[in-house]
Structure 1
């Protein structure tokens, strides 16, 4: 993972402020976050008790002094801004494989259809709806009869409408403390809330006050 230093060197200063937390560790945290679909808060919390996470992060089994989840959030938003995590990993994997002689061919053929469907970055609307769907699915498993108490699904495709639907969904769950406290529900709930906060922040920073709101099919 030493390539992480080369990729992020322009985002760090060697002469200002305190020494930063090792970016390789933060990068690994993000990999775990993506693989297991966890919020920043939950991926750090799981590291407290999941020995496979600690092994991957080079932490001792008894280690409890972990990073604050806000550190991971800042790293994700500021240090890795506009960087496609998966593309970076694929490029480096192929580069290392060629260097070590694992790949000897001059051409690499990829199943583009599968790659596109599995790994292409989703739009904000698609990602929100996916997380909301997974949250509802988890809820149905915990309380099969809860479906009638949840807000109706949104069908307009407009980001603002989807954000409002997701907030209503979260509010309806938080009105039931016992349900919201269920570990499986809580993980999916935090994951959706994180996406909402990210998208609201992006809308606030990027929206042109004179522009009209619309969407493409």
Structure 2
């Protein structure tokens, strides 16, 4: 802790959260740096809010690190939550990560101009549910919070329908009730706020989710931002994805959090933009095939960045794409707008035909004919449903030649170091499972975790630099 206190400057937090405090009214707030240092220790040792305060109360090293005397009292655990969500979150938690990266640059710890990109996943803090469970829980939570705050309105709210076991239209009945309940709450409490607004917005999202009844949209009334994703063709998860950019010195420069079903490649521009905003020069990017989309390659070319990215013929396609279809690199299948995945694939066309060759993905026609989104997607009387990518290897001849070179093979071997970093985030600092619910809170957890591992790496790099110069 002495080394951390000596090397890392935590005072940036004052300017970052200044706008979220009132300087003239209310009781004096707890010291922002003290609270942020507590959050840092919490992530460093993977503790809950309550456990962090309990430990700090009796651990003199912790009290010294956060700037308190042995006899001083600590803030309540709820203060950590409020500071994390309403101060850091409101101020833009991304700036926390940028601040530590800039400190690394100023100290000369980042010399590489190479960025490595990858993603990892985090399990949601709630279990996935079937549509009826999602609808019922959302209705119960909305009804309960309204009655708790406005008990006189209980008799004016529509009553939850009695759903019989194995009732065929149970989901549709409950969907209609949730919509009716939401409309009633908006009418009876037009100036709603706080927890009522939160539960009402969740109810609205569930009602408007076209994919809910097919079990491909919102899968939890408690955490509606979490999504069903794939690690491979047979392994899936329910939760979030953290998309990460990192230097060769293992300093994380950018983190973007999405639902578990998101496409890794679509986060490329945001990761690159966040990295450049820290002041790092990027001359080379190392990543897997998920980032080899033609738009990403074009972006790198326009910025004179060398892509060390293996090509995947699936993402280099000609012609127009049907909106809503996405390719999942990990599972190697295409997902339709309704959330169904393709069941097999085949290559059509001769190898000698060049651009006319296509990679065709086939969907289960029985599921397609029963799909609520089939209009405009499935032709009447069709015997199968396919989605094709035209293979355009000839258009990427220069990149293919580079991919076969010794330089490429040598540089691509650097990619696995980001997998080690992902393992560190999850194994030692709690990123295996979400501690909080919702995309907003998950983003805060991911950024604070990245900040913490950057500080650990910063101390090691500083020690190496001092040993070398000695």
TM-score bracket for the superposition, by shorter chain length: 0.5 to 0.7
1:34-113 equivalence runs, <5 A: 34-60=43-69, 62-81=70-89, 85=93, 87-103=94-110, 105=111, 108-113=113-118
Q: Shift of the alpha carbon at 1:33?
A: 2.0
Q: Structure 1's 205 and 24: CA in aligned 2 closer, same or farther, altered over 3 A?
A: farther
Count, aligned residues: 143
Q: Shift of the alpha carbon at 1:4?
A: 0.5
Write out per-residue CA displacement over residues 17-52 of structure 1, whole angstroms, 9 at most, x where no aligned residue: 122111011111112222323221111111012233
* Structure 1 residue aligned with 2:33: 24
| SS at structure 1 position matched to 2:208 | coil
Q: Shift of the alpha carbon at 1:155?
A: 6.0
2:124 to 118, 124, 127: 127
Q: Structure 1's 52 and 89: CA in aligned 2 closer, same or farther, altered over 3 A?
A: farther
Q: Are the aligned partners of 2:34 and 2:66 in contact in 1 as well (CA < 8 Å)?
A: yes
| SS at structure 1 position matched to 2:73 | coil
* Structure 2 residue aligned with 1:170: none
Q: Structure 1's 41 and 89: CA in aligned 2 closer, same or farther, altered over 3 A?
A: same
CA distance in 2, matches of 1:83, 1:18: 20
Q: Are the aligned partners of 2:19 and 2:91 in contact in 1 as well (CA < 8 Å)?
A: no
RMSD, matched Cα? 3.3
CA distance in 2, matches of 1:40, 1:47: 11
- The normalised TM-score by structure 1 is 0.53
2:19 to 10, 13, 18: 10
Q: Shift of the alpha carbon at 1:98?
A: 2.5
CA distance in 2, matches of 1:52, 1:110: 36
| SS at structure 1 position matched to 2:125 | helix
Q: Are the aligned partners of 1:48 and 1:63 in contact in 2 as well (CA < 8 Å)?
A: no
Q: Structure 1's 201 and 52: CA in aligned 2 closer, same or farther, altered over 3 A?
A: farther
| SS at structure 1 position matched to 2:33 | helix
Q: Shift of the alpha carbon at 1:157?
A: 8.0
* Structure 1 residue aligned with 2:201: 206
Q: Structure 1's 70 and 97: CA in aligned 2 closer, same or farther, altered over 3 A?
A: same
CA distance in 2, matches of 1:205, 1:40: 28
1:170-185 equivalence runs, <5 A: none
Gaps of 5+ in 2: 1-9, 138-194, 219-226, 229-470
* Structure 1 residue aligned with 2:449: none
- The normalised TM-score by structure 2 is 0.27
Q: Structure 1's 16 and 155: CA in aligned 2 closer, same or farther, altered over 3 A?
A: closer
- The structure with the greater share of residues assigned to helix is 1
Gaps of 5+ in 1: 130-153, 165-199
Write out per-residue CA displacement over residues 73-119 of structure 1, whole angstroms, 9 at most, x where no aligned residue: 2212211225675x43432122123233444x4x5434322xx32xx
- The structure with the greater share of residues assigned to strand is 2
CA distance in 1, matches of 2:196, 2:49: 16
Write out per-residue CA displacement over residues 113-149 of structure 1, whole angstroms, 9 at most, x where no aligned residue: 2xx32xx7x4xxx2316xxxxxxxxxxxxxxxxxxxx
Q: Structure 1's 32 and 202: CA in aligned 2 closer, same or farther, altered over 3 A?
A: farther
CA distance in 2, matches of 1:65, 1:99: 36
Q: Structure 1's 79 and 89: CA in aligned 2 closer, same or farther, altered over 3 A?
A: closer
